[in-house]
Amino acid sequence: MFRAVLQNADLCRVIFYLVLTSGCGSANADGCHEVKTAYMMRQIGQVELVPENPQTDNSLQVCIHSGPGCCTSKMEDSYMAAVRSETQQKIRSYSFELKYLIAGHRKAYQDTFDSLVSFTSNLTSALLDSAYSSLASDCRPHVLQLFNDINGHLSGDPNSFLEKGVGSFFNDLFPLVYRQLLNPGIGHTTPKSFSSSSSTSYKDCLRMTRQDISPFGPHPQLLVSSLSHALGVGRTVSRLLRLAGDVVDATEKATLSRDCGRGLVRMQYCSHCRGLTLIRPCIGLCVNVMRGCLVGISELAAPWRNLVVFLQRLASTLATSSNHNSMELALLAVRNHVNDAILHAQLHGPRITAIVEKVCGPQVAHPRMVSGHPNSSHATTPTARLTQRIPKRVALTSFSMGSGAYSNVQLQSQRSFPLKGSRGDKSRSLKKLSREFEGSIQRYQLFFSELPEMLCESEMAVEQHTCWSGQDVVESYAGRVVGSTLKAQRENPEMTVRNMDPVLRAAKQRLEQITQELLLELGWARTAIRKDEEEDGGSAETDAGSGYDCDDEDGCEASGEVKARDRKNKILDTCG
């Protein structure tokens, strides 16, 4: 009986060995049935391409091994197409959250800016309605265009120039002020150089000579200077968010090289040729292949890290009361500058009129009708009327604005003005929005440097005592795991890496160039970013000079970076 027990135990060991070998290494046990099943389930190509039984195919280019297998050259082509598509889909899935974050906050900032600009545009129109009713109707389209230009500048439109928009507004304002305030009731009869129907030409002359005549004094330039300084941070945030979105788009559009495709096939599908459909690639193999495939993305890591730190600094600046109030106050002060400019023109009316008549031609006064008598003694000269019509500086405390009224708006107030524009409750306060964004973008500081490891992370989900080395089943990967830089990738044992994808190279150059330009535009030294990185040891836990205490409720915890570092340490430990 004891001998029978031993025989049964030996039989069990034999059966266990056969089961183990059939699941791990042989394509002969069940033919190519498992390979065909995996091929069909992953929708790689036509199932008819998979042979029923192992065979020798000397035309194989990637999955070359001695002995029969379940792969053919046509299957290799299908594997190549499938693995490229799978990898690009994984990249898109990992970048989706970052892309959503950037797009969402870019829209939120734009909505907030739109609301604030709309609010201050209405206040400026209300000033004209209240203090300069004769100008209001004709001037309203120019006010709307001015604030559209301001909004375009604030939204980061590269084709929007604030000085040009302000200049155009005052060019259009001058003919209205000249004819309706400085010389009311006087029509122009043009000299011989003008035709009898040259009203448009006379207006054009006033527009073109406005800067030379300077009827509004220093106020147009003061307005440009005030807005440029106060809106600079908001404009830079808009431009960098647009740039960040373009960079993420570029990573999704970048193509994978043929050498990358061969490496991916060897890593993921060459094991199938042996009938090993369940074994996973060695983590060292995966890191080498992914770093080789994504070398262009890895090269974005350093400029992207600087971009994120830059965005954190900008968001922190907008979140402080003095800065977001300065933006609101600068926009609210537009009406002050417009009012002061008109008053300046009225105070210097005779001088302006004399210059205009020399440049654009004289004007002849029509008789002014007073109580129906053309020659009434009540008729006044232009200079006398001008003296009578100069108002005191308009008190900007209460203006009717359509259906509602905005009362007691004190420009010297240091509190945050409510952003209640056309979008109502949809707009968030600039301070709250900036604090939220600063905490959210921080988590993606290491995104591009960690992306290859993140793509390999799924391969580490199940621990195995053996793994696929790209050529055979081994206990551990024997190759050297190289760094992610282009220089380090020249020693990659798994694939030949020659250069970056041109799309990613262009994205890197644009990222570095625009970031540097904006740093100089704001007057921020590049060493400021480097100093932050040195102080934090290059980690993503930089507070970027935050002006507030960051807690979990603010959404500022750097949990994403902690996970990224844990992931990297885990991979490095695994790779030995």
- Lowest-confidence segment of 220-229, 314-323, 489-498 by average pLDDT: 314-323
Query: What confidence tens digit (pLDDT) does each residue in 324-334 have?
Result: 678 888 999 99
What pLDDT sits at residue 160?
83
pLDDT at 312 over 50: yes
**Rounded to 5 degrees, what angle do the CA atoms 72, 492, 79 make?**
20
What pLDDT sits at residue 193?
39
pLDDT at 554 over 90: no
Helix (H, G, I), strand (E, B) or coil at 474: strand
Query: What confidence tens digit (pLDDT) does each residue in 38-48 have?
Result: 988 988 888 88
* Phi and psi angles of residue 407, each rounded to the nearest 5 degrees, phi first: -110, 150
Asked if 422 contacts 416 with a C-beta cutoff of 8 angstroms, the reply is no
What pLDDT sits at residue 300?
94
What is the arithmetic mean of pLDDT over 440-450? 93
- Lowest-confidence segment of 51-60, 208-217, 256-265 by average pLDDT: 51-60
Query: What confidence tens digit (pLDDT) does each residue in 414-443 have?
Result: 333 333 333 433 345 888 999 999 999 999
Cα 327 to chain centroid distance, Å, stands at 21
Over the Cα atoms of the chain, what is R_g? 36
What pLDDT sits at residue 22?
41
Bridge partners of 468? 281, 473
What pLDDT sits at residue 360?
86
Residues in the chain: 576
* Most confident listed range (13-27, 163-177, 474-488, 513-527): 163-177
Asked if 529 contacts 413 with a C-beta cutoff of 8 angstroms, the reply is no
What pLDDT sits at residue 546?
34
What is the arithmetic mean of pLDDT over 190-199? 45
Instruction: Report the sign of the C-alpha dihedral through residues 62, 63, 66, 69, in that order.
Output: negative
